[in-house]
Amino acid sequence: MPIYFHEDQKVFHLQSNKVSYIFNVLENNQLGHLYFGKRLIDRDDFNQLFYVEETPNTCFVTGKSNHFSLDLIKQEYPSYGTTDFREPAHQITQENGSRITDFKYIDHIIFKGKRKLAGLPATYVEDNHEATTVEVRLFDQEMGTELTLSYTLFEETAVIARSAHYHNKGDQTLQLNRVMSASFDLNDHQFDLHQLSGSWARERHMKKRRLTAGIQSVASTRGTSSAQHNPFIALSRPDATEHHGEVFGLNLVYSGNFLAQVEVDHYDKARVMIGIHPFDFNWQLKPGEQFQTPEVVMIYSAQGFNGMSQAYHRLYRNRLARGQWRDRLRPVLINNWEGTYFDFTEAKIIEMAKAAKQCGVELFVLDDGWFGKRDDDTTSLGDWFVNRRKLPQGISGLAQSIHDLGMKFGLWFEPEMVSPISDLYQAHPDWVIQVPNRVKSHGRHQYVLDFSRDDVVDYLYQVMADVLSGASIDYVKWDMNRYMTEIGSFQLPVDQQQELPHRYILGVYRLYDRLIETFPNVLFESCASGGARFDPGMLYYAPQAWTSDNTDAVERLFIQHGTSMVYPLSMMGAHVSAVPNHQTGRITSLEVRAAVAYFGMLGYELDITTLSDQEKQQIANQIHFYKANQAFIQTGQFSRLISPFVDGGNQVSWQILSEDKSQLLVGYYQILSRPNPVLRRVQLVDLDPESCYQLAGTDQHVYGDQLMEVGIEIDRYTNRSGTHDFQAHLFKLNRI
Ligand code: DGJ
């Protein structure tokens, strides 16, 4: 068993061949944290890992030895108010007003496999031998409440998935004010904190700061995980690089408000925690009720950031994504959004599809504007009935025409929203998130539907199921285009209003679950104004996500680079769009745009009918190249070689290596040209040093060790073309 329990010292040891995670039962029967990091040999005696320095100005737990202060002890899931002055993992208000809790160890079970999390997305196993779980049961006598901390160790990827579960077995109603998914304390604070932050059209840029005394955090209180901050943080030793050094990653499998924080205390220890944001959160737990926190996926890498990312990629590709599309090659798509926006007719769509088909595109996606009276963004969300003026044959007729061309057909929805000008809103004004007698703000002229209500979720299921079963639809783009304001529900009781954001997300998950179950063949792509909900929660339901509304190739270098910190290429939608680019006005060549989009799930998003024959031929060649290599692009090992987030950000390089190391694709990008440039060179990684690789399309041969130690000298193969901005050079190498 890779999870050991040492009865004498009451120590738990989760051990893979790369990592150890060790915690114990303290003398007050709460849980202490001992170690998270590089694998340690399992021993009966872990006393060495527990040391408490006697310090002045400390409070001690009554009745215990004079050394026993929780302020000085590393903890596993700390409580509020008893000698520990750092922020706790949980806080629970009881009927007498007390917020003091005391969850003591009762027992535990260790088993092969992993349980599902009720109502929530989570990583999973297909075979029980893939992972081992320990569930540790703790009990607070005063409240009569059970807390179960669950840890699953995925042996192959050395990933630990954690969550907490509360069960009120007492007779009073509890208020869960704060229930984080995980917490642990590190011995020191010599770390950089990394985050993926930005905004609409600038999602998941990499930011870092050195830890210092106090609390540093990233969070969302917008109702979704957000474009502003991804539910992810990493801590790295300052000398860590992409390929070497220690990195810890935490990623919350959740799509709503979250908090990820590190608190550096007065002894320079660092407390790390992540979970649902406690701000404006309160959950009433009545006698007999249970509450499950979302899961956090924790990774320790001694092989730098790429080591961490590759473990996330592997796990998410294989054991977060589900359904038949998990392992199938994704269709190259064309989406009409940037090509036509709302201004299309059936004839135009078919004309675009025909031209796309000739280039080898496999799926046509009809975006926003096909329903109700929607000719701009002011009306009709919620009225999911085809607009016959635009599409006289209806969706079924159009889908048939697209299929007749030999293509798949996909359709856009934004199920969680309603326009004030819509039949749905007229019929159900109470279905909108709002607070009585207060302003009802709108964003993009729309309101957020109250997905905490079963009747709303049931209605959406029915209308979407009607559309999906009434036509031959292979793909759904599920969009979501505004954050929550005036958070209130007409259905929830007054004292449960702060449950709304979490209940909302549970409602979204319920709708996804039902649709996936009814339509298992449909490929879902999630989207939220581009990448405002690019999180593992969504990716459990939809195996790919629209990475960003920003389709500019240069901007995409930053966005896709940052996104790859956690999420695999198989989950990133990447489209070639028209120039001048609609978000930045920049003109880049078709070649550069494709060379960036190859590092993701390729699509086109432009009016292909307006392109010249030469451009269409170029697209046909691009799709041919992509399809020939897609199998390893989708499943191979991705590495970041040169980052745009350092050294002025003028160069970027990425590598994808097939599982068997027999083929690889390297992308090298230079944003601006420089006069008399230095020799441009990129060193590859993880190749077989003995093997010889041939540069496709040439008779050049290079050995694996030389590609890694010396690298590819870009100008040797590209005739020193450093004279224009926005360059991309692709190198496909095959082992011979
Ligand atoms: C936002 C999405 O990110 C776009 O791709 C597009 O679907 C629009 N919404 C449509 O309104």
- 65 pLDDT band (50/70/90 cuts)? low
Instruction: Indicate the top mutation candidate among 202, 367, 416, 475 to test ligand 1's pocket, ranked by most ligand atoms within 8 A of CB.
Output: 367
549 flagged as catalytic: yes
Residue 473 or 62, more confident:
473
What would the pLDDT profile of 446-463 be if each residue is shown by its tens digit?
999 999 999 999 999 999
DSSP state of 159: E
What would the pLDDT profile of 232-270 be if each residue is shown by its tens digit?
999 999 999 999 999 999 999 999 999 999 999 999 999
pLDDT, position 703: 97
**Average pLDDT estimate for 496-506:** 98
42 flagged as catalytic: no
**How much is the mean pLDDT over the chain?**
96
The tokens describing 580, both together, are 């001048």
How far apart are the C-alpha atoms of 202 and 210, rounded to whole Å? 23
Q: What distance in angstroms lies between residue 175's CA and the mean position of ligand 1's atoms? A: 39
Amino acid at 702: V
**Average pLDDT estimate for 295-302:** 98
- Say whether pLDDT at 349 is over 70: yes
The candidate with the shortest Cα–Cα distance to 95, out of 287, 281, 288, 278, is 287
- Say whether pLDDT at 626 is over 70: yes
- Say whether pLDDT at 516 is over 80: yes
Q: State the Cα angle at 434 between 431 and 440, rounded to 5°.
A: 115
Percent of the chain with pLDDT over 70: 99
How far apart are the C-alpha atoms of 165 and 182, rounded to whole Å? 11
The tokens describing 126, both together, are 């297909």
pTM greater than 0.75: yes
- Say whether pLDDT at 51 is over 90: no
The three-class DSSP label of residue 71 is coil
The candidate with the shortest Cα–Cα distance to 309, out of 191, 161, 157, 155, is 157
- 6 pLDDT band (50/70/90 cuts)? very high
- 56 pLDDT band (50/70/90 cuts)? confident
- 408-413 and 363-366 strand pairing: parallel
- 157 pLDDT band (50/70/90 cuts)? confident
Give 245-268 as a DSSP string.
B-EEEEEEE-SS-EEEEEEE-TTS
The three-class DSSP label of residue 271 is strand
Asked if 571 contacts 545 with a C-beta cutoff of 8 angstroms, the reply is yes
The three-class DSSP label of residue 732 is strand
Q: What distance in angstroms lies between residue 368's CA and the mean position of ligand 1's atoms? A: 7
Q: Which residues line ligand 1 (CB under 6 A)?
A: 337, 367-368, 412, 479, 481, 527, 529-530, 546, 549
- Say whether pLDDT at 53 is over 80: no
Report the interhelical angle of 553-563 vs 590-597 (nearest 10°).
10
Judged by average pLDDT, the poorest of 54-68, 191-205, 305-319 is 54-68
User: Hey, what's the torsion of the CAs at 382, 385, 389, 392, to 10 degrees?
Assistant: 160
Catalytic-role residue among 71, 84, 265, 479: 479
The tokens describing 577, both together, are 């769009």
Instruction: Indicate the top mutation candidate among 203, 338, 368 to test ligand 1's pocket, ranked by most ligand atoms within 8 A of CB.
Output: 368
Residue 637: what are its φ and ψ, rounded to 5°? -90, 120
- 721 pLDDT band (50/70/90 cuts)? low
The three-class DSSP label of residue 524 is strand
Give 627-648 as a DSSP string.
HHHHHHHHHSEEEEEE-TTSGG
Amino acid at 292: Q
How far apart are the C-alpha atoms of 594 and 358, rounded to whole Å? 18
**Average pLDDT estimate for 561-581:** 98
**Average pLDDT estimate for 404-423:** 98
pLDDT, position 63: 59
- 66 pLDDT band (50/70/90 cuts)? low
Which residue's CA is the nearest one to ligand 1's atom 11? Answer: 368
- Say whether pLDDT at 415 is over 90: yes
pLDDT, position 443: 96
pLDDT, position 627: 98
How far apart are the C-alpha atoms of 182 and 77, rounded to whole Å? 7
Do you find a cis peptide bond into 580, omega within 30 degrees of 0? yes
Which residue's CA is the nearest one to ligand 1's atom 10? Answer: 368
pLDDT, position 723: 79
The tokens describing 417, both together, are 């929203």
- 734 pLDDT band (50/70/90 cuts)? very high
**CA-to-CA dists, residue 184 to 35, 122, 362, 477, 716, angstroms:** 9, 20, 47, 38, 50
Asked if 272 contacts 207 with a C-beta cutoff of 8 angstroms, the reply is no
Task: Note the Cα 172 to chain centre separation in Å.
Answer: 37
**Average pLDDT estimate for 590-613:** 98
- 333-335 and 192-197 strand pairing: unpaired
pLDDT, position 196: 98
Amino acid at 321: A
- 675 pLDDT band (50/70/90 cuts)? confident
Burial class (CB in 10 A: 0-12, 13-18, 19+), 261: buried
**Average pLDDT estimate for 687-705:** 95
Q: What distance in angstroms lies between residue 621's CA and the mean position of ligand 1's atoms? A: 28
- Say whether pLDDT at 633 is over 90: yes
Instruction: Indicate the top mutation candidate among 549, 582, 604 to test ligand 1's pocket, ranked by most ligand atoms within 8 A of CB.
Output: 549
Q: What distance in angstroms lies between residue 145's CA and the mean position of ligand 1's atoms? A: 45
How far apart are the C-alpha atoms of 203 and 562, rounded to whole Å? 8
pLDDT, position 718: 81
The three-class DSSP label of residue 494 is helix
How far apart are the C-alpha atoms of 606 and 341, rounded to whole Å? 10
pLDDT, position 326: 98
Cα Rg, the chain, nearest whole Å: 27
Residue 376: what are its φ and ψ, rounded to 5°? -155, -170
Q: What distance in angstroms lies between residue 559's CA and the mean position of ligand 1's atoms? A: 17
Asked if 657 contacts 634 with a C-beta cutoff of 8 angstroms, the reply is no
